Amino acid sequence: MSDPGFSIGAAPDPQWWRREPDEAAAVADQTQGELLSTDAAGSSLPFWALMGFTFVLLIAPQNIIPALRPLRLGMLAAGTGLLAMLVDRLGRGLPITVVTREIKVAGCLLAWAVVTIPLSYWPGGSVNLLLDQYLKTLAIFLLIANAVSSVRRLRQVAWALTLMTAPIAVKGMQNFLSGVYVHDGVGEAVKRIVGYEAPLTQNPNDLALLLNLILPLTAALFLITPSPALRATLFGIAVLQVVGIVVTFSRAGFLTFATTLAVTVLTTSRRLNRRWAWGLLILVMVFTPLLPDDYVSHLFTIADVNTDPTGSAQGRWDQQVAAVGYVLNHPIVGAGIGQNILALNEVLGPAWLMVHSVYLEYAIDLGLPGLILYLLLFVGSVRSASRVARLPWDRPGARDLSILANGIRTSLLAFATAAFFSPVAYHFHFYYFAGLALAVRVIAEGRASATSPEQAEGDPA
């Protein structure tokens, strides 16, 4: 099957973005407008099921209303979306999924994880992680790449993610103001807030990570939204997101936010966008002196881990050193997917702690081949978003698509920093935004998953 996406490592067609001459130009512009600004043909059920799954993942209504727990809303939404996607695509004579190099690499990564299971420290544990977590993550990755098939749907995803962060950030602020802190093993309070009760935000570091990843999409929506009232709303939510990041006292959260600011300033090319970016940077600098003293002193432990009174920084450093040593001794086949805890126990003793680095998770669990495959997937996703972010604005819908793609790229680059400190290798964080990067790519190419070859030539969807 031919790859419908950009070729990684090969130059894209330099004429792909140009207008057609003479009479064909009108048809080409009309077709491009349809592809960029309206839903492609196909059922909308997979998309709205994805939105339902996202709501369950971030807001966790089953924790607010316990009676919902037996319904397993997340699995119900995800299963409905995947089944509807398959039925819709097969019914229109399309492959079961769009196929890009990134999807092929993700398939190779999954295959390598399966191949190494017999050599795992605990094969049963590797099978459980594969079935209970990683396969679900990859399934949502595919659903996003196929279901988010237009600029309108992309905007809806960005709005949904942005609005869902509001209660999460507010809960973090409430916990900070009320002194709802986590406790150490002997019951002593540690001045770190309890996270929001949802799968991706249960501890302060995860809460900061989620807010950091969605913040660039909020900024992108601000740039493409003409309504002053909606812009004011987006600005207010962005403030909540930033404050939510600060009250977690997360060092990784701070570094990730700093990466977001740097990428935003360096990648904005249009004059108006640059003004907003520099304005944001100046605003952050103005309010920096208002940060809590405890927060500033906590950040200083980044430069000197020995000054951390909790011992967390020192422990993380020892973990990193031990993890690198393990990888050097097991470069090809690692401990097995999800078994880095057992590998570190072998090196450091029975501490039963996960390595806090996505890169080292892949390296320990799946060896250097697994790490390389993951890095190829990451780089390919960033390149897909980057190419769409450079899309000329002379076509209908192209401006919004370009700005949203830049927001997705910024989120991925922010994750690249967070990944040095977070044990989320097989979770949804990266794969959700990687799926969005592939979605903007197929939209820009006019090969959205719900578009048939006849419609790609100009027939209305």
pLDDT tens, position by position, 170-193: 999 999 888 888 765 434 445 788
- C-alpha distances (whole Å) from 161 to each of 54, 150, 332, 344, 445 are 8, 17, 38, 36, 25
Please, which pLDDT band fits residue 3 given cuts at 50, 70 and 90?
very low
Give residue 106's pLDDT: 97
Give residue 1's pLDDT: 41
Contacting residues for 10 by C-beta, under 8 A, at least 6 apart = none
Give residue 117's pLDDT: 96
State how far the Cα of 352 lies from the Cα of 228, in Å rounded to an integer: 51
State how far the Cα of 380 lies from the Cα of 375, in Å rounded to an integer: 8
Most confident range (mean pLDDT) of 6-15, 160-169, 320-329 is 160-169
* pLDDT of residue 252 exceeding 80: yes
What is the rounded average pLDDT of the residues 150-166?
Answer: 96
Give residue 311's pLDDT: 59
* pLDDT of residue 33 exceeding 90: no
Under 8 Å between Cβ of 235 and 216: no
Give residue 320's pLDDT: 85
Closest by CA to 370, choosing from 437, 301, 426, 316, is: 426
Under 8 Å between Cβ of 180 and 426: no
Nearest-5° angle of CA 4, CA 10, CA 12? 60
* pLDDT of residue 20 exceeding 70: no
Under 8 Å between Cβ of 121 and 365: no
Would strands 189-193 and 181-183 be described as parallel, antiparallel, or unpaired? antiparallel
State how far the Cα of 379 lies from the Cα of 384, in Å rounded to an integer: 9
Give residue 363's pLDDT: 96
State how far the Cα of 120 lies from the Cα of 114, in Å rounded to an integer: 10
Please, which pLDDT band fits residue 105 given cuts at 50, 70 and 90?
very high
DSSP-based three-state secondary structure for 181 = strand
Report the mean per-residue pLDDT for the chain. 82
Quickly count: other Cβ atoms within 10 Å of residue 48's Cβ. 17
For 368-415, how does the pLDDT look when each residue is reduced to its tens digit (9 = 90+)?
999 999 999 999 999 999 999 988 877 767 889 999 999 999 999 999
Contacting residues for 89 by C-beta, under 8 A, at least 6 apart = 42, 95, 96, 97, 146, 449, 450
Q: What is the dihedral of CA 399, 404, 410, 413, to 10 degrees?
A: -110
Under 8 Å between Cβ of 450 and 41: yes
Give residue 289's pLDDT: 57
Please, which pLDDT band fits residue 288 given cuts at 50, 70 and 90?
low
* pLDDT of residue 301 exceeding 60: yes
Please, which pLDDT band fits residue 133 given cuts at 50, 70 and 90?
very high
pTM higher than 0.75: yes
For 42-62, how does the pLDDT look when each residue is reduced to its tens digit (9 = 90+)?
689 999 999 999 999 999 999
Under 8 Å between Cβ of 84 and 46: yes
Q: Can you tell me which residue has the tokens 């900070």?
A: 176
- The one-letter amino acid at 416: A
Cα four-point dihedral sign 30, 159, 220, 142: negative
DSSP-based three-state secondary structure for 453 = helix
* pLDDT of residue 23 exceeding 60: no
Element (H, E) at 183: strand 181-183
Listed in order, strand segments (DSSP E) in 34-165 are none
